[in-house]
Structure 1
Amino acid sequence: MKAKVYLTGAGPGDPALLTLKAKKAIKKADVILYDRLANDRFLEYAEAEAEKIYVGKKAKDHHFTQSEIEALMIKKAKAGKTVCRLKGGDPFIYGRGGEEALKLKAAGIEFEIIPGISSSLAVPLYAGIPLTQRHLASSFAVITGHEAADKEESTIEIEKISAAVDTLVILMGVGKLPQIVERVLAAGKSPETPAALVRWGSHSKQQTLTGKLINISDRVEAADFKPPAVIIIGEVVKLRQDLKWFENKSLFGKNILVTRPRAQAASFVEMIETEAGRAVLAPTIEIKAAQNRQPLQKAVRNLGEYTHLIFTSVNGVKHFREALDQKGLDFRALAGIKVITIGAKTAEELRKQGIKADFMPADYSTAGILNYLKQLQGEGKINLSQASFLLPRADIAPQLLEEELKALGAEVNNVEAYRTEAVALEPEVLELIKNSDLDLLTFSSSSTVENFISGLDH
């Protein structure tokens, strides 16, 4: 297979700002070289066997030099690998993507450029600062702070640029802010010109500091405001007071622990991130097939023996479907069987298979199912002594439902459809807990609670 490198922009950090094309490149890659500004959540789109290498750089702390990154990229590609070079923002806007592309060209390696949303555009927006505004600002410029600070050696004529545009956006300039402000003032800008710095823009930990040219450097020093941050200078900064929106979201700045299995956490994580929270993935259980699959397969072969089928989880539905598949069957095999579910997500998983549950208790509980069946029996609509229930459940599922159904006279086959295994808490998560950096802990089952507590003891 011919090697290829995708120079891929990952955007400023919000997972929702990753483009569809970038997502496809991550998924097809054999090797992913990712930097410090690309949200680690993007790696979830990679195949499990993909090699993931962190090559991040920050001031005075380089895991890899630029030349080492280029050499590694070429080495992997020449080994026949499809490489995704994942870069924060856009690869060609102060991302050194052009340099990397030229190296690939010289090495005879095919490459493709996938644009990303630049932090120079997205971060001011997430802070509620438009770069242009009718009657206020009709032009803007983006420069790098690395070169803009040194008047003697800089190739950037910041005085001319600042005088020519209404809004100035500066990337990678926090460490040289006093020198930058001095040059902007020398260009004729008023000391009262509004200025803002936005740190970790589009992330839940976004921070915005505002002031004026005359005092912004002092404010940054007093707040110990560290990079990475985008600097915005211009009258448009005044609009932030009315236009800020991201920081007003209900979960902004909240670190929320998600303990459900990784494969089932996507929708919940998306809900958290939609409200500007940070989802800390820490699955405490892993769902696996039953060690002995014969009981479930036998139950599937003999579905005609059952009058009712009760699903208490999404996993029960999925593993039951797999058992049907293994026998060359589908959910049409349930014709004539009443289906009961606990939980909206379980019912939704069934609907994906074209099956609408006959009943779902409003309180998502075993008691709700039992009360419903007792009511039907009282109305003469069911004779539980002649009913037969199949319960495809977890190996650790509570026995209450089975015991109560039997007490009502029904036959019950409580069959293990899947099992749960404990997953150890990662050191990063334990550190967040130790430092009291988590705002909310969420649990989807008793087993996630038990394994979480157990994990704290190790």
Structure 2
Amino acid sequence: SMAQDAINRVLVDRAREGKFVVRLKGGDPFLYGRGYEEAHACAEAGIPCTVVPGVSSALSVPALAGIPVSNRGMTHEVTIVSGHLPPGHPGSLVDWEALARMRGTLVVLMGVKNSPAIADSLMAGGRSPETPAAIIVDGSLDGQVTHRCTVGTMATTLTDRGVRPPAIVVVGEVAGLPQVLTRA
């Protein structure tokens, strides 16, 4: 684990040494991956770089769990948010009340710890407590498990099942679709 400034310095320093630097990141480096910050640091140092986008866990992990984040006739929008700050936190940039009013799928990354508060905020904003939800733990790994629940039972599900990060939370009607995939 390194601070972002330290990572940026290593990228620039190694490139200035004439080394070919590859920064591997999981998923899409521009979706909560700080890829832009690293590319910007290189650009400011006059070092050309190329970004190779990946498939975000916000889309791939629900798919691996058999949950489409969109489904014809069911949802026309998908919203991906960071849940690393709870609703009401002064640093949060998420408008949870607006998200509660939307009918589409909500995918929450980095939000396990704050999911109970997120669920409460969604319900306070008008989202039905009966709205299906899924918590997908250890996505793409051998131990991947999906906990189905509702917005109203999310806090209890997290506690009763001992959910720990990494996990992705999917809220919306798609989370209630029947399971059609089997894992090999």
Instruction: Give the structure 1 partner of residue 164 of structure 2.
Output: 226
Give CA-to-partner distance per residue, 1:7-58, whole Å, 9 cap, x none: xxxxxxxxxxxxxxxxxxxxxxxxxxxxxxxxxxxxxxxxxxxxxxxxxxxx
Secondary structure of 1:90's counterpart equals coil
Q: Which structure carries more strand by proportion?
A: 1
| Higher RCO (Cα < 8 Å, 6 or more apart) | 2
- What residue is the counterpart of 1:197 in the other structure? 135
Indicate conservation of the 8 Å contact 1:73/1:83, yes or no. yes
Deviation per CA, 1:373-419: give whole Å up to 9, x if none.
Answer: xxxxxxxxxxxxxxxxxxxxxxxxxxxxxxxxxxxxxxxxxxxxxxx
**Equivalent residue for 1:99, pick from 28, 31, 37:** 37
Partner of 2:71: 133
2:67 maps to 1:122: no
TM-score, length-normalised on structure 1?
0.39
Equivalent in the alignment of 1:144: 82
Q: Distance in 2 between matches of 1:127 and 1:109?
A: 40
Is the contact made by 1:159 and 1:184 (CA closer than 8 Å) also made in structure 2? Answer: yes
2:22 pairs with one of 59, 84, 90:
84
Matches within 5 A, 1:159-178: 159-178=97-116
Where in structure 2 are the equivalents of 1:240-255 lying within 5 Å?
A: 241-243=178-180, 245=181, 248-249=182-183
**Pairwise CA RMSD:** 1.3
* SS state at 2:114 partner: helix
How far apart are the structure 2 equivalents of 1:198 and 1:146? 16
1:217-246, CA deviations, whole angstroms, 9 ceiling, x for partnerless residues?
A: 11111211111111100011111x332x2x
Question: CA separation in 2, counterparts of 1:104 and 1:110?
Answer: 7
**Highest CA radius of gyration, 1 or 2?**
1
Q: Percent sequence identity over matched residues?
A: 38
- Tell me the matched-pair count: 183
CA distances 1:131-173 after superposition (whole Å, capped 9, x unpaired):
11122212110010113x2314111112113323411001000
The two structures have a TM-score, normalised by structure 2, of 0.94
CA contact (8 A) 1:199 1:230 kept: yes
Give the 3-state SS of the residue equivalent to 1:116 in structure 2. Answer: coil
Distance 1:165 1:74, change over 3 A: farther
Structure 1 residues 102 and 165: CA distance shift in structure 2, 3 A: farther
Shift of 1:184: 1.0
* Contact 1:141/1:167 (<8 A) preserved: yes
Asked whether the equivalents of residues 174 and 229 of structure 1 are also in contact (C-alpha less than 8 Å), the reply is yes
Partners of 1:232 and 1:140 in 2: CA distance: 10
By how many angstroms is 1:123 displaced? 0.6
Contact 2:87-2:96 at 8 Å conserved across structures:
no
Instruction: Write 1 or 2 for the structure with the bigger share of helix.
Output: 1
Q: Which residue of the partner structure matches residue 5 of structure 2?
A: 67
How far the C-alpha of 1:104 sits from its partner, in A, is: 0.9
Is contact 1:140–1:165 with CA below 8 Å preserved after alignment?
Answer: no
Match of 1:151, as an amino acid? G
Structure 1 unaligned blocks of 5 or more: 1-62, 250-274, 276-458
CA distance in structure 2 between the partners assigned to 1:144 and 1:200 by the alignment: 17
Q: 1:163·1:189 contact (CA, 8 Å) conserved in 2?
A: yes
Measured against aligned partners, the alpha-carbon deviations of 1:167-187 in whole angstroms (never above 9, x if no partner) come to 100100001111111111122
Work out whether 1:238 is the aligned partner of 2:157: no
Q: Does 1:187 align with 2:131?
A: no
SS of 1:215's equivalent? helix
Q: Which amino acid aligns with 2:62?
A: P
CA distance in 1, matches of 2:6, 2:137: 28
1:128 partner amino acid: G
Contact map agreement 2:79 2:107 (CA 8 A) in 1: yes
Aligned to 1:34: none
Paired with 1:161 and 1:109, the residues of 2 have a C-alpha distance of 40
Alpha-carbon separation, structure 1, partners of 2:89 and 2:58: 25
1: CA distance, partners of 2:125 / 2:93: 16
State the distance in 2 between where 1:165 and 1:194 align: 12
